[in-house]
Each structure stands twice: as structure tokens, then as C-alpha cells.
A and B are shown apart, each in its own frame.
Chain A
Amino acid sequence: GDSVTQMEGPVTLSEEAFLTINCTYTATGYPSLFWYVQYPGEGLQLLLKATKADDKGSNKGFEATYRKETTSFHLEKGSVQVSDSAVYFCALRGGNNRLAFGKGNQVVVIP
């Protein structure tokens, strides 16, 4: 079935550092891809999305490009802030229209 794999473990980095969170997927057909963010004590919010190959989603300084050849949708931000500390989830919507989520990555930004 459709699935999403995120890199293992939390990510800890200093303010203004470059952030990358890896995400790869397995799906039949042409899924839509998403990044959701969960701030402490809250539900998830959509951060960005891409619906077809080579699309780039972007929001709040974050970017991710839909790479069909490598089945990836890595999240990047050039200069993180303390306020970016959160859990980030990669997700896909496959042929059954249900969303499959990755396990999430905790990001901690230190001042």
C-alpha cells in the first residue's frame, strides 16, 4: 500500500542553520504530497503541498520539490528560527484519496 518514510530521529540545530528533513514515498499512480507541521500542544496544520512531479511547494520560508525519479519530497529551510521548533510530518494522498502520514520528525531550534 501507499506509505511515507521520514528520516529517523529528532533534529536539533542552531538558529539560522539550514534545515533538511528527508521524505521518500511508495505509491501507485501519481500521489499528491504534503508537509504538515504540529506546534507544541496543537493539532496539525498544512505547511505546503505539491500535486505533480517537479512542482515546488513553498510557505513561510520552507520549500519542498516533488521528485518522481527519486520518489522524494524533502523539506528545506535556509535559516531556521526558534519559532520553527515543531514536529513535521510528510504525507501523501494516493489513489484511495486517504492520506498516509510519515512518523514525523521533531525539530528543536536552539537560540
Chain B
Amino acid sequence: DGGITQSPKYLFRKEGQNVTLSCEQNLNHDAMYWYRQDPGQGLRLIYYSQIVNDFQKGDIAEGYSVSREKKESFPLTVTSAQKNPTAFYLCASSMSLGGLNTGELFFGEGSRLTVL
């Protein structure tokens, strides 16, 4: 089945450690996104990528990094510079930026990161 796979579903990290969240899609979508979800704050855009080897900062990129070496993959690294990393992270993809063709973003099931 086509879709977006995020892993791990739950992750615990000690302060000062970097951690990488995986996101893989087999939908042949050009655009991919990372959002952070906090209670009562909705979704905030961290990074997005329109095409392989290209990505842009979203609204809250500080303390995060990404890469887009393959169309199918868009991993997110939460670095030790991120001051408040405990959150639920959602990866999404669309046929083109903003889902221009259908207006639809497809989301993974999310990764919950807890910093101890």
C-alpha cells in the first residue's frame, strides 16, 4: 500500500544528544514536509522540500536539520541546539508544493520524541 512511514513511533533522548527521525514515502510525491505538533498550538512547519537536493526553512527551523538525497526520504535531525525538543513530529508529502494539484497533504502517523 502507498503511504508515508515514520520511525520510530516513540523515542527517548537524553539532553545534549542529537536524534534523527525517519520519513519514507512511496507515493512518488515531489514535496515533503516536517511539522511539529504541541498541545494547544496546532502544527508548525519546521522544514519543507520541493525537490531532491533542495529544502527550505519553515517557521521554526532553529535547532533542526534535514536532508533530501532521495525523492522517497526526508529525515529530520533534532539537534542538541533545539531548546525544547519534546513534541510530536509529523512528516507529510504532496504531489507538489502545497498540494497544488489536489490540495491534499498525506501525513505519516507521527513520531513522539521525549527528552529526559
B53 within 8 A of A: no
How many B residues touch A, CB cutoff 8 Å?
23
Q: Which residues of A contact B105 (CB under 8 A)?
A: 36, 44, 46, 99
Q: Measuring CB to CB, which residues of chain B are less than 8 angstroms from any residue of chain A?
A: 4, 6, 35, 40-43, 45, 48, 58, 90, 92, 97-100, 103-105, 107-110
What residues make up the interface of A, taking CB atoms closer than 8 Å to B? 32, 34, 36, 41-46, 49, 51, 89, 93, 96-99, 101-104
* CB pairs A–B below 8 angstroms (28 shown): A32-B103, A41-B109, A43-B6, A43-B92, A43-B107, A43-B108, A43-B109, A43-B110, A44-B43, A44-B107, A45-B107, A46-B104, A46-B105, A49-B104, A51-B103, A89-B42, A89-B43, A93-B98, A93-B103, A96-B98, A97-B97, A97-B100, A99-B45, A99-B99, A101-B42, A103-B40, A103-B42, A104-B42
